[in-house]
Chain A
Amino acid sequence: EVQLVQSGAEVKKPGESLKISCKGSGYNFSNNWIGWLRQMPGKGLEWMGTIYPGDSDTRYSPSFQGHVTISADKSISTAYLQWRSLKASDTAMYYCARGVTVIDYWGQGTLVTVSS
C-alpha cells in the first residue's frame, strides 16, 4: 500500500528555521516525482515545487523560489521542505504529494503556525 506520512504540526516564531518531512512507503520512491503544496487558511491549493529523488532534479514555482528548499534522501525514502527564515505569512497546511500532472497519493498534511 502506497503511503506518504508527514511529520507533525509545528509552531514557530518569525525568523526561525524549519524542516518538515514526508516519508514514502509501498512504492519505488526514487522513480516518482514528489512535491509540496500549500494551503493557506481558507484558501485553495498551490504548487510549491517538486523533486525527482532518483537524480534530485528539482522544480520550483516562481512564487516560492528562493524562499523554500525542497530536498530528498532516497536512502530513507523521505522528502523535505525547508525554510531558513519563517514569516507569519507561511502559516498554512502543507501537503506532500506523489506525481505532478496527476497526483495519485497525498500525505496527511503538516500544519505550520508562525506567530510571535
Chain B
Amino acid sequence: QSALTQPASVSGSPGQSITISCTGTSSDVGGYDFVSWYQHHPGNAPKLMIYEVTNRPSGVSNRFSGSKSGNTASLTISGLQAEDEADYYCSSYTTNSALGVFGGGTKLTVL
C-alpha cells in the first residue's frame, strides 16, 4: 500500500477542469511544502509537472496548477486536452524515510 493516497482514476472531457487529490499525513504532505507531481505517459520517462506544492518548471503549461490544504495536496488541470491523458503521481518529502514517498498514481482519461 502506497504511503500517499490518490484516486485510481479520474476523467473529464476536453476543455473541462479536473482535480487529482493526494492525501498523506502530518509527517509528509501536511508537514512540509515538498509535494511534487509527475506526469507519466506509459513507455516514456515520467515528467515533473509541479514541485514544492505550487511551482511549475519551465516549459510546463500554466494549465497545470498545484495546491495544498492540510494533509491533502491537489493537482488541477484546466482546459483538458487529449495529450493530458496519462498517469499522474504525487510524491512528498517524509520524516519517515531518507527517500520521498509516492502516491499510487491516478489514471487520467480524457473522454
Interface residue ranges, A against B (CB under 8 Å): 35, 44-47, 49-50, 59, 61, 95, 97, 100-104, 106-109
In-complex Cβ contact of A44 among B34, B100, B102 (8 A): B102
Q: Is A47's CB under 8 angstroms from B48's CB?
A: no
Interface string of B82-110 (1 = CB under 8 A from A): 00000001010100011111111100000
- Chain A residue with the shortest CB-CB distance to B52: A102
In-complex Cβ contact of B48 among A49, A50, A59, A102 (8 A): A102
| Complex interface: chain B residues within 8 A of A44 (CB) | 2, 89, 102-105
Interface residue ranges, B against A (CB under 8 Å): 2, 34, 36, 38, 40, 44-48, 51-52, 57, 89, 91, 93, 97-105
> When A and B form their complex, which 7 residue pairs have the shortest distance between CB atoms, in order from nearest?
A106-B45, A47-B99, A59-B98, A44-B105, A102-B51, A44-B104, A101-B93
Q: How far is the CA of A107 from the CA of B36 in the complex (A)?
A: 18
| Complex interface: chain A residues within 8 A of B105 (CB) | 44-45
Q: How far is the CA of A112 from the CA of B74 in the complex (A)?
A: 33
In angstroms, how far is the closest chain B Cβ from the Cβ of A21? 16
Q: How far is the CA of A39 from the CA of B33 in the complex (A)?
A: 25
Q: Is A107's CB under 8 angstroms from B45's CB?
A: yes
In-complex Cβ contact of B38 among A49, A50, A103 (8 A): A103
Q: Is A106's CB under 8 angstroms from B99's CB?
A: no
| Complex interface: chain A residues within 8 A of B52 (CB) | 102
Among A49, A95, A102, A107: residue with most chain B CB under 10 A: A102
Q: Is B48's CB under 8 angstroms from A103's CB?
A: yes
